[in-house]
Amino acid sequence: MQPWFIPMFYVSGAVLGGLALPRIEQAYLSGYTLAVSVASAQALLSAASSGMMALTGIVFAMAFVMVQFSAIAYSPRLVLWFARDRMLFHALGAFTATFIYALFTLAWVDRGGSAKVPLFSMLLVGIMIIVSMLLFSRLMQRLGDLQIGNVLHLLGDQGRAVIGEMFRRLDDASATRHPAKSAASTARLGRVTQTVKYFGKPRTVAKLAVDSLVALAREGQGTIVMACAVGDTLVEGSAFLHVHDSGTPLPEDALRRAVHLKRERTFEQDPKYPIRLLVDIAIKALSPAINDPTTAVQTIDQLEDLLRRLGASELDAGYAVDKNGALRLVFPMPTWRTISPSRSTRSDTSARARFK
C-alpha cells in the first residue's frame, strides 16, 4: 500500500464519522449532552481544529528537514527511506482527521438553537486530540533516527536481515549442495524454449516471487533461468528470464507479475543494497567537503560485520526446486567469484553476479 493512502483513510473515517455520529446522537441519544456552555464548546472545538492544522504544518516542515538532511549528510538514496516513514503519514492522517472531525462537531453544537452540546462527539474529539499528541511525541523521538550512529545501525540491521533470509550458513547441515545445482552449473538445462523481454520505462528489480515462478515452471515442466538479479535495472527490450525445456509456453503476464519492479532499489532480497549505501556514506564522510573520519570508521565496522556474515554463508544459493526435487528456478545471487564472458553459457548466464 502506498504511504499516501494512510492519511486518506484517516480523512475518510473522519468525514464518515462526522456525517454519521452527530446525526445518530440527535436521533437516538438526544438525552445525553455535555454540561458545558455552548460558547465554551465552540471555543474548544475551534482551538482544536486550528491547533491541528498548525501541527500538520510542523510535520510537513519536519519531513522536508529529514529529506534535506539525509540527502546532504548521508546519501540521496536514503531520502525515500526517511520520507516514506509510515509514522510520519500516520501523524499527518491523525492531525487532519482531528481537524476535520472537530469542524463537523462544531457545526452540531447548538444545532437549530437547541443550546445542546453533543456528548459523544465532544468526547471523541478529546480522544483524538490525546492520540494526536502521543503521535506527535513519538514523531519527535523518531528524529533521533537521523543521528549517524542510528542510521548506520539501521542499515546494518537491514543488511543482516536480508543476509539471514537469502543465504544459509555454511555450518548448517541443511546447506549441503543439492544435486540439481550441479546440473545447472554444467549447463544441462536443455534448450531455451521461451524468452520474456521487458518493455517500458527503466525499472529496478525489487523482488522475485520465487514460489510463483517455481509453480509456473512446474506447470510447464521446465526450468526458469532469470537473466537479471534483484537490484538490476531493466531497460527497453532487455531479456529478464529464459524458460528451458518447457513443454508448453508459460503465460508471460504471470511471469511478469512474478518479477516485482520499482523505481528504486529496495532492501528486499537485495544483500548488495545495504552494502552500497554504507559505502556511499563512508565515501561522503571521507570527502574534503565533510571530512568526518569517525563516521567512516563506524561505517567500516558495519561493513566488516556484513562481510563476515557473508563469508560464513553459502552464497551459491540461487536455486529453487519443487516438491519433487526437480530444479525449477535459477536466479542470480552475488558471490565472491565472477565469470568472464567467454566462460558464460547461454543456460547459465545468470548464475553469478558481482557485489556492486
Q: Could you please report the per-residue DSSP string of 237-256? A: T-EEEEEES-SSPPPHHHHH
Cα-based distances in Å from 60 to 91, 140, 251, 322 = 10, 13, 45, 49
Average pLDDT, the chain: 81
CA neighbor of 139 nearest in space, from 92, 72, 204, 98: 92
**Cβ(97)–Cβ(12) under 8 Å?**
no
Residue 106 CA to residue 102 CA, distance in Å, equals: 6
CA 260 distance to own-chain centroid: 12
Residue 228 CA to residue 300 CA, distance in Å, equals: 29
Residue 104 CA to residue 139 CA, distance in Å, equals: 27
Residues in the chain: 356
The pLDDT score that the predictor gives to residue 268 is 86
The pLDDT score that the predictor gives to residue 351 is 35
Q: Are strands 313-314 and 168-169 parallel, antiparallel or unpaired?
A: antiparallel
**Cβ(207)–Cβ(166) under 8 Å?**
no
Question: Which grid cell is 327?
Answer: 530444479
Judged by DSSP in three states, 118 sits in strand
For residue 76, give every residue at least 6 positions away whose Cβ sits within 8 Å of its Cβ, in sequence order, or none. Answer: none
Question: Which grid cell is 73?
Answer: 549528510
- Phi then psi for residue 129, to 5 deg, are -65, -45
Low-confidence ranges of the chain (pLDDT < 70): 1, 63, 66-67, 69-71, 73, 76, 79-83, 143-145, 169-188, 337-356
Residues 297-339 have pLDDT tens digits of 999 999 999 999 988 888 777 888 888 888 888 888 887 764 3
**Cβ(255)–Cβ(196) under 8 Å?**
yes
Residues 234-263 have pLDDT tens digits of 999 888 899 988 778 899 899 999 999 988
pTM: 0.69
